[in-house]
Homo-oligomer: A and B are copies of this chain.
Amino acid sequence: MTRHLHLNAFLMSTGHHEASWRLPESNPVANTDVAHYQNLARIAERGKFDSIFFADSPVLFGDVGRRPAGSLEPTVLLTAIAAATSKIGLIATASTTYNDPFNLARRFASVDHVSGGRAGWNVVTTAGPDAALNFNLADQPAHAERYDRAAEFLEVAFKLWDSWEDDATLADKEAGVWGDNAKVHPIDHVGRHFQVRGPLNLPRSPQGYPLIVQAGSSEDGKGLAARYSEAVFTAQQTLEDAQAFYKDLKARTAALGRDPNGVKILPGIVPVIGGTVEEALRLERELDELIKPEYARDQLARTLRLKPEDLPLDQQLPADLPDEDEIEGAKSRYTLIVTLARREKLTVRELIGRLGGGRGHRTFSGTPEQVADAIQEWFDADAADGFNIMPAVLPSGLEVFTDQVVPILQRRGLFRTEYTGSTLRDHYGLARPVRSGGSLEAPESLQAATA
């Protein structure tokens, strides 16, 4: 069997580079402009991407001076995009810490219905104390507690999505019987975090479940991914790290009795593309020069739990930083940043430059051919099943990738030239989950789905 590469377009207002909004070409209020996002999705669909994706957190972060702040709620945004596209998958982030399973399961099932089976859910636990303050809490629940809730949240969601059998709707006009009560089941879930009777107030959706995506790379995050997810977003700076992550996660998946092929691993890459290497580097430099380091230093200080004054711009990071174990927020991103700075002996200013392009994701500047090579290298070396493409500037970066890199990947036989299915699961080569009948646990039902 030839492996096929998967491509997800990670979309974010004017682009992933924090200064992208300052370019003359950028629409600085793109973050609330639905037409901007519909246009981006159409470009990605023209490029036969598997999916588009939106990150999210239910809180306004820090400084609104820095870059376009605030964003449309992702399930609303996906729905608006569904109406403007017909094939591409649609993945939204939603937090298990700050939602109710009944409402959220219903919303994703609704998006799946409305889009004809194109919905995906990036399941996150939401790091950082700030979001908690919007939800009646004085601080975020501890990291382990958040992941415990996430697992139970998913179990409840699976049960709700399975609460209607696929053939529960009879629509028998003659007999006057619309649905079959024997095929719609309460779930009667009673757990540590949730008591939910069900059933869902919505017939089973085209995909059964939305595609389950996971994006935390801590130990607990990898555990959740291995057990429940079908695609994993991850930030990896080097081939070796990416290979180790890939191998580890596939092994964890297999150890739980699941087909490791049922979990697609998608590291992020921020491509900055030019006709020549020089042009690409010039574009990168132009962008970096537009960064205002004070903004970025404030955020770095928050991540490292320091004060901005503790981070002189032209020195390396302080020697004594907390251990990942002590971090209750985004553990894996913390470690990645510290490791990157130490390995490359970066000053704070240099580190900020590296993070400004992709917040810890791999950045790569070069010609279309070189970008295709960079992608193929990791793909061939079992470091990735595909990539999270994170254009530095939008829409132009996505257009260039679609028109110049995708054709190369297609010529090399790595990437589809046409969609062969109509659902998001079809694109990723993942089966529709078989209904568990309300008795099987979620892992087995996913196992059946991905076998």
Contact = CB atoms under 8 A, between A and B. Distances in A.
Interface of A: 19, 21-24, 26, 28-29, 32, 34, 57-61, 63-73, 75-77, 79-80, 82-84, 98-100, 102-103, 106-107, 110-111, 113-114, 130, 133-137, 164, 168-169, 171, 173, 176-181, 184, 194-203, 290, 292
A29 B84 CA distance: 23
B58 A106 contact: yes
Contact of A58 (B28, B67, B103, B177): B103
Contacts of A63: 181
Contact of A99 (B21, B103, B179): B103
A70 B32 contact: no
Contacts of A106: 58, 73
Contacts of A26: 173
A70 B200 contact: yes
Nearest to A202: B70
Contact of A83 (B84, B134, B195): B84
Contacts of A177: 65
B70 A136 contact: no
A352 to B, nearest CB: 14
A177 to B, nearest CB: 5
8 contacts: A66-B178, A68-B178, A69-B184, A71-B201, A83-B83, A98-B103, A133-B196, A133-B197
A130 B198 CA distance: 9
Contact of A134 (B84, B99, B196, B292): B196
Contacts of A203: 29, 32, 70
A132 to B, nearest CB: 9
A129 B61 CA distance: 38
A199 B131 CA distance: 11
A357 to B, nearest CB: 16
Contacts of A135: 100, 102, 196
Nearest to A116: B34
Contacts of A292: 176
A180 B63 CA distance: 9
Contacts of A59: 201
Nearest to A66: B178
Contact of A176 (B22, B29, B114, B200): B22
A28 B169 CA distance: 9
Contacts of A114: 34, 72, 76-77, 80
A238 to B, nearest CB: 31
Contacts of A200: 60, 70
A174 to B, nearest CB: 8
Which are the 10 A-B pairs with shortest beta-carbon distances? A64-B179, A83-B83, A28-B171, A133-B197, A60-B201, A79-B79, A73-B110, A76-B110, A70-B202, A102-B134
